[in-house]
Structure 1
Amino acid sequence: MTIATRTVEYPADGLTMVGHLALPSGADLRPAVLIGPEGPGLNDFQWLRADALAELGYVAFAFDHNGGRWFSDPAEMLAYLTPLLADPGRMLAMGRAALDVVRAEPRTDPERIAAVGYGTGGAIALELGRDGADLRAIGTINALTTGRPGGATRIRCPVWAGVGSEDPIMPPAQRDAFAAEMQDAGVDWRLVVYGGALHAFHHPTDGQVVLPGVGYHARHADRAWRDIVALLDECVPVARE
């Protein structure tokens, strides 16, 4: 399928965010997917996720949470992300700004929007859900963040989460806390643990900030992508010609 792409600049958190929009061919309404990147930010790898979803027939928007920056220094990245991840209100505002971009796209079916996020981008997607955003699915990898008490009761869609079994940043205690939050709130949730995988197992490490406990796992990266596509096909299917 032929796709069209463009850069979209938009304001959020006092910054100019720089996102990547990918559109399938045609002029009809299509389901849309927000794609939230991991901590270092957006680069070609994340853009290609949006392009791959557009090739499947989705309006896909890879949003930004770093003001157009790609962090190559771990200390600088953590100095920026640590207070962000501790502030649900800031994350929610970033998510709402990205959601506004998708809703403003004429090709988007406003009744069929999903959010997929990796790491920090996944935490932002979950905050959208906890705010009661009208999403049809939320998928996260390496983002088993928990919210404020009672927040998950406002999630209106299925939640799928993936994590590596050896991820020291999202250890078993965090998995249990996330599962308890989802279960107590009555969310339709799933958690897939990929055996032997570390944090950010889905992302090749070339050019990426590499922290202890981070490592690429090619086989599980492919599996996790297929699981995400299956979630979208279940919750926001594209009509096949």
Structure 2
Amino acid sequence: MTTVTTRTVAYPADGLTMSGHLALPGGTGPRPAVLIGPEGMGLSDVERRRAEALAELGYVALAFDLHGGRYLEDPEEMLARCLPLLADPGRMRGIGRAALDALRTEGRVDPGRIAAIGYGTGGAVALELGRDGVDLRAIGTVNALTTGRPGEAARIRCPVWAGVGSEDPIMASAQREAFVAEMRAADVDWRLVVYGGALHAFHHPPVDHSTPPGTGHHARHARRAWRDIVALLAECLPVTE
């Protein structure tokens, strides 16, 4: 197992000072890199641990921030910030591009080999980077079957993997169908995995504060979704010594 080092990275975005979590694998040479976007509540130890797990596999990983260093435990406060953000592709792209710029300043990053993954709002940001034509090797999202502006999915230049719970009331069947139609119309290399019996945010471990209705952890599917994301990266962004 490679030795992982971490540090906090501050950078401006969306009128805020963001505080991302950077994880670096051992060694000195350039490595492929992964952006990790958090759920709407914001950057937490869940995404920090995932960045570190990817660094153990040899990736430079940056778990990016959505709320200027804040974690929004109150569902109403979270929705008040995230719903306008999700309705504004330009803002999402700005947040994603700022995080991407912060990642690229790390000297260990191979700038031509970057992927973006994310959960909920952070996954929507990853998708908008693709729709904005950013050069990514892969996009992976969980609970983020958002659709974009008409025709802009044709700018996506990499495979897209998406996972969703079958019982997710936020990403329900109509949302899934719209996402699939958009990907098909744009001739994107896409995959959609529906995890039977899972709710929204099924990947996220239980938390000690209130959460929006329709959310719930599903341990077995959470493990499966993580394995699927790691497999996507291994296919599209292999680590080579």
Per the alignment, residue 28 of structure 1 pairs with 29
Aligned-partner residue type, residue 138 of structure 2: A
Cα 1:208–1:124 shift into 2, 3 Å: farther
1:89-168 correspondence runs (5 A):
89-168=90-169
SS in 1 for 2:135: coil
CA distance in 2, matches of 1:80, 1:208: 18
How far residue 111 of structure 1 moved from its aligned partner, in angstroms, is 1.0
SS in 1 for 2:113: strand
- Poorly superposed stretches of 4+, deviation over 4 Å: none
How far residue 222 of structure 1 moved from its aligned partner, in angstroms, is 0.1
How far residue 209 of structure 1 moved from its aligned partner, in angstroms, is 4.6
Aligned-partner residue type, residue 75 of structure 1: E
Per the alignment, residue 49 of structure 2 pairs with 48
TM-score (structure 2 length as normaliser): 0.98
RMSD: 0.8
Aligned-partner residue type, residue 159 of structure 1: V
Q: Please tell me whether the aligned partners of residues 165 and 195 of structure 1 are also in contact (alpha carbons under 8 angstroms).
A: yes
Q: Please tell me whether the aligned partners of residues 116 and 140 of structure 1 are also in contact (alpha carbons under 8 angstroms).
A: yes
CA distance in 1, matches of 2:210, 2:186: 35
Q: Please tell me whether the aligned partners of residues 198 and 215 of structure 1 are also in contact (alpha carbons under 8 angstroms).
A: yes
CA distance in 1, matches of 2:140, 2:44: 20
1:1-241 correspondence runs (5 A):
1-207=2-208, 209-239=210-240
Unaligned runs of 5+ in 1: none
Unaligned runs of 5+ in 2: none
SS in 1 for 2:110: strand
CA distance in 2, matches of 1:134, 1:102: 14
How far residue 169 of structure 1 moved from its aligned partner, in angstroms, is 0.2
Cα 1:209–1:103 shift into 2, 3 Å: farther
Q: Please tell me whether the aligned partners of residues 72 and 207 of structure 1 are also in contact (alpha carbons under 8 angstroms).
A: no
Q: Please tell me whether the aligned partners of residues 71 and 209 of structure 1 are also in contact (alpha carbons under 8 angstroms).
A: no
CA distance in 1, matches of 2:209, 2:130: 28
Cα 1:186–1:220 shift into 2, 3 Å: same
Aligned-partner residue type, residue 226 of structure 1: R
Q: Please tell me whether the aligned partners of residues 40 and 209 of structure 1 are also in contact (alpha carbons under 8 angstroms).
A: no
CA distance in 1, matches of 2:192, 2:133: 21
How far residue 207 of structure 1 moved from its aligned partner, in angstroms, is 3.3
CA distance in 1, matches of 2:45, 2:179: 30
CA distance in 1, matches of 2:179, 2:238: 27
SS in 2 for 1:202: coil
CA distance in 2, matches of 1:207, 1:43: 13
Per-residue Cα deviation, 1:94-138 (whole angstroms, up to 9, x for no partner): 000001011111000111100000000000000000000000000
Alignment coverage as a number of residue pairs: 240
